[in-house]
Structure 1
Amino acid sequence: MSCTENESGPFVVFFLPAVVGCLTILLARRWANCQVSGTSSTAISRRRKIIKDPLVKRPLPPIATKMIPPGSKKAAGVAKKPTVPLPEEEINGGKRVGRTARVAPSTSPTATVNDFKLADGPMPPKHIPFPYIPQDGTLLFEAMTFIFTLTAMGLQFLNLYRTAWWLPHSYTNQAMNFYLIDPHLVAFIVTIIFRSLLLNITLAVLKYILAPKLMPHAIIAARMFILGVILGALAWCSYFIMLKYPLLKIFFLCYPAVIYFLLFGLQSGPFLELNNSDTPPMHCCSHDPQQVRDEVEVLRQDFNLRVKKILFNSIVGAYYTSFIPCCFAQSYLYYDVYGASQQVAFVWGGLFGRYASQLLPATYCDVGHRAALHLGRWRLHSTCTEGACEARAWSGAAWWPRGGRAAAGGEFAAAAQPAHAQHTRFYSVFINPSVLLCMLLCLQLSLIVLQLCLLFSNIQWHNFLSVVILLFINYYTLFKMMRDYLIAWKVYRAESMIQDKNGPVQGN
């Protein structure tokens, strides 16, 4: 009987990875929820606790305002003081479309222009509340990623230096020829994949022992110290590697540094950690069109930076843990090139899904969605010719209603800044973020299906072991992506139904 023959049955092939993956997901989620439960509750949870608690009889807060139809006596009495219409809550024809704020009368021409712009502009979009979705902390995510990449490196070394220790006359009783593995190369790879976890552990210890007012300076000092330690360790390992291998292999070892400088320049932040700040980007509902465009530009740059981090970190993780061991293998060593290449692809796909689910969650995509609703999109009106349709010159200082027409660049457009490719792409991506989440989910699901199909094929025992172990972390990533997609799909579907029911808002 051949040692490569798979006789474990369908239970070991399919159900055992699925059961162990589910148990891993449940244990990880329980640990994460225990950490989240220690934090303070939100205002919504406190309010619900006060209302639903039958033992505590607390009156509800009084209503601050009351809707009054125009033309009534109370409305006439209130109208004695000058008001400025604000584009959020206003009483117009018995329907609440904005509100009024009492201010002192002003004779400034700037105030008159602003009042006219706010009064004539369309009503801003109403955002539907997005539910809270718990996410893995940075320390937990980096720890799981380090374990995943460290395991992938060990599995690739197993594919290269495996032995037939089970044979009766074998000269070794170990599963790998450890003496063929270069310890300095292993130290170099471990230093690369351990950099982010080392920084997060250091920051967690500093937050525990230092006062909050000292943390900003301590974080800067810790980043500089960790960066010096990492670069020193890499230089020390590179020196001993250069003494053993030719210059071409040294170039393979340092090639990702060239890509890093092309993507991020001389910044050290993306090399050490995923997010340099603890505060995620937030959305601000503004009545100034220029502020909306500035916010969209900030969110667009942040999204591009996150995509770069996803691609770079996933490629670097797969490159050093699965490709570099093959490059530094001995010339006389024979190994399965197809199996080693398959390992590289699976590690890259698993890391890409992990970083995508962490850097592009549903809560982050909702911020871009709200900005896209304020931004809007212009389309070229093909049926309009010069002078055939009424259109006024586009102005960046005015709000444009849905369905409005403006003349820009000699062409007529209908409904952000005309002929602006970046605004168009931002609107296309974030007007319905569930499409982006669905694409990521499909990629992760296709990776898992491919791995399961390989388990049913006649593969060697070390490749079988590699696929089964890599499936565990992919199951957890699939759970996170599916949860984000289902929640986002339901929320934006409800939002679309509300908008279709209310109909488009027409401006003056």
Structure 2
Amino acid sequence: MHQRNTNNTNTGATFSPSSRSSSTQHNDTSNTRIIAFCGTPPRSSSISTLPTNEIEHRYVPRPPIESDFIFETCLTICKIISLFLQYLLIYKSEKWIGPYSTSASFIHWHRIDGCVIGILIIFCFALQEKLILLRIIINIIAFIYSFWFYSWKYVLVFTYPLICSLLVYQDQNSKSYQQQQQQQQQMSISSNSLPGHYCSPHAYDLRYETDCLRIEFNQRIRHILFSSFLSVYYICIVPLAFCDTHYIRLDVTLLFQFSFIVFLSLIMVYTSHYLPLELLTVFHRNGKHLGSWQCLTNHNHSSTIPSWDEKNQIGYEPNSIVKYKRQIYRSSQCSSTVAEPANMYHTRFAILFSRPFIFPLILCSIQIILVILQILFLLLDQRWFIVVPQMILFIFNTYTIGHTTRDMYLLYLVYG
């Protein structure tokens, strides 16, 4: 539905307006590229309104974004290395104690099932969206191998991710979300295809754009969380399921720490790629137009207050008071407001993206917490099989640290 326009500057964007605007559809039948700083003159209205296109958007540089192929390839390598680190933590021997240990190696190699490692390595490749056929084939192989060499209970280990996939995406078949499903089918979770902002003078077009961007954001967040969960499941959970605890002593606390760090690291890596600064800028520009409403509990002379009009073409002025569903609402104080009162989706979107620093600060806070946890784990326990995984994971996290630092610095230069 949305395609990134690489020919325009960062102030230009594309967007498909709402089907309710016949005049906009007539002028935009070929999906024409519109400059964000459009100069449509303000329209007259019987109520106190403010033209929505008077809001100016500052230019934000476009940092380079890796292609999906390069990102998935590098991420697959990181997953495979994390998988071997998990096996190191599970099958470590007691040789690290000193020369008095009876173990001949640092790892109990003879206890490791090489076929399971091969299956999990292929799973690390198959988690890419374009390799669905490989995922189906490796699932069939995993079912046969776990049933033939172990028991039917181990088949459930590889069945659980499939059940989770059905539960996560079951709402796409709901009739109440039929329109959203049509929009979601047109969207692709990719860094090469990003939505744009259409600085429309019509309030209902901006609300429709908000709904499309909200669906895009929800789709990307769901993809980030579920992809991170699947990766952690195959990297950390499946090796534990096929481990023989009769011969191997497991350190549950250590394994939980490693799994949690891997999960947070994958979330940050996926977020830095699928929610880049360019996309967050689009969300911020729409959220700046959207505004918000505050419900007034005590207000006199409610009979003289005009009702909120969905067909109103221009946004409400700051501090405007309207009546909506027997409630009184006041618009935001900083700019015009085009959001629908009592619409929680619009309210949450405005809270997250009305200011350019809110969502990047959330990501930056998670990154800081992740680094502090890794440092604490290293300070509390400095054994070699703890230091090695944490240091390697810290090297992986430098990718997201660099992205987060760069984005925050650019936002500070633009809005600081």
For the structure 1 residues 120 and 446, does the alpha-carbon distance in structure 2 shift closer, same or farther, using more than 3 Å as the test?
closer
Say which SS state the counterpart of residue 236 (structure 2) adopts.
Answer: helix
Quote the residue 1:412 is aligned against: 328
Deviation at 1:119, TM superposition (A): 11
Do the aligned residues in 1 keep the contact of 2:123 with 2:138 (CA within 8 Å)? no
Correspondence 1:233 to 2:138: yes
Counterparts of 1:467-482 in structure 2 under 5 Å?
467-482=390-405
Which SS does the other structure have where 1:243 is aligned?
A: helix
Partner of 2:414: 491
Q: Does 1:340 align with 2:255?
A: yes
| Greater radius of gyration (CA) | 1
Shift of 1:356: 1.4
Who is 1:146 aligned against? 76
Deviations along 1:287-308, one digit per CA (max 9) or x if unpaired, are 2222111111111011111111
Amino acid across the alignment from 2:330: A
Match of residue 197, structure 2, among 257, 263, 283: 283
Give 1:417 deviation, angstroms. Answer: 1.0
Tell me the secondary structure at the aligned position of residue 132 of structure 2. helix
* Superposition pairs of residues 202-213 of structure 1, within 5 angstroms: none
- 1:268-307, aligned counterparts within 5 Å? 275=189, 278-307=192-221
Please give the alpha-carbon distance, in whole angstroms, between the structure 2 residues aligned to 1:233 and 1:453.
38
Alignment of 1:171-182 (within 5 A): 174-182=105-113
Structure 2 residue aligned with 1:359: 274
RMSD between superposed Cα atoms in Å: 3.0
Whole-Å Cα distance in 2 between the matches of residues 234 and 151 of structure 1? 21
Per the alignment, residue 159 of structure 1 pairs with 89
- Structure 2 partner of 1:319: 233
Note if contact 1:152-1:321 (Cα within 8 Å) is conserved in structure 2.
yes
CA distance in 2, matches of 1:88, 1:146: 44
Give 3-state SS (helix, strand or coil) of 1:334's partner: coil
Q: Please give the secondary structure, in 2, of the residue aligned with 1:380.
A: strand
Q: Separation in 1 of the partners of 2:188 and 2:253?
A: 32
Q: Distance in 2 between matches of 1:262 and 1:435?
A: 31
**Residue 364 of structure 2 corresponds to residue 441 of structure 1:** yes
Under a length normalisation based on structure 1, what TM-score does the superposition of the two structures give? Answer: 0.64
Q: Which amino acid aligns with 1:391?
A: I
- Do 1:380 and 1:414's aligned partners in 2 also have CA atoms closer than 8 Å? yes
Q: TM-score with structure 2 length normalisation?
A: 0.78
Number of equivalenced pairs: 359
Please show how residues 81-96 of structure 1 align to structure 2 within 5 Å.
89=39
Contact 1:369–1:433 (8 Å) recurs in 2 = yes
The yes-or-no answer on 1:402 pairing with 2:315 is no
Partner of 1:329: 243
CA spacing shift, 1:454–1:120, aligned 2, 3 Å: closer
- CA deviation map 1:322-364 (0-9, x unaligned): 1221121103121222211111111111111111111222221
Q: 1:412 to 1:165 in 2, by over 3 A?
A: closer
Cα deviation, residue 264, structure 1: 2.2
Is 1:466 the counterpart of 2:396? The answer is: no
Structure 1: unaligned runs, 5 residues or longer? 1-40, 46-86, 91-97, 100-114, 200-222, 494-508
Task: List, as ranges, runs of 4+ consecutive aligned residues in structure 1 with deviation greater than 4 Å.
Answer: 41-45, 87-90, 115-121, 164-174
Whether contact under 8 Å (2:68, 2:192) holds in the other structure is no
Q: Tell me if the contact between 2:93 and 2:107 (Cα under 8 Å) persists in the aligned partners.
A: yes
* CA positional deviation for 1:188: 2.5
Q: Cα 1:381–1:135, aligned 2, differ >3 Å: closer, same or farther?
A: same
Distance 2:122 2:190 in 1: 20
Q: Name stretches of at least 5 consecutive residues in structure 2 with no aligned partner.
A: 1-5, 11-36, 173-183, 332-338
Distance 2:57 2:163 in 1: 43
Contact (CA 8 Å) 2:127, 2:135: kept in 1 or not? no
Whether the 8 Å contact between 2:146 and 2:154 is mirrored in structure 1 is no
The aligned residue for residue 385 of structure 1 is 300
The alpha-carbon deviation at position 253 of structure 1 amounts to 2.8
Partner of 1:195 in structure 2? 126
User: Which one-letter code corresponds to 1:310 in the other structure?
Assistant: I
- Over 3 Å counting, the alpha-carbon distance change for 1:244 and 1:44 in structure 2 is closer
Question: Structure 1 vs Structure 2: percent identity of aligned residues?
Answer: 23
How far is the alpha carbon of 1:248 from its aligned partner? 3.5
Per the TM alignment, residue 467 of structure 1 is displaced from its structure 2 partner at its CA by 0.9
For residue 20 of structure 2, what is the aligned residue in structure 1?
Answer: none
Q: For residues 89 and 136 of structure 1, do their structure 2 counterparts lie closer, same or farther at Cα, with a shift above 3 Å needed?
A: closer
After superposition, the C-alpha distances for 1:378-405 in whole angstroms (9 at most, x for unaligned) are: 11234522447x5212111212222222
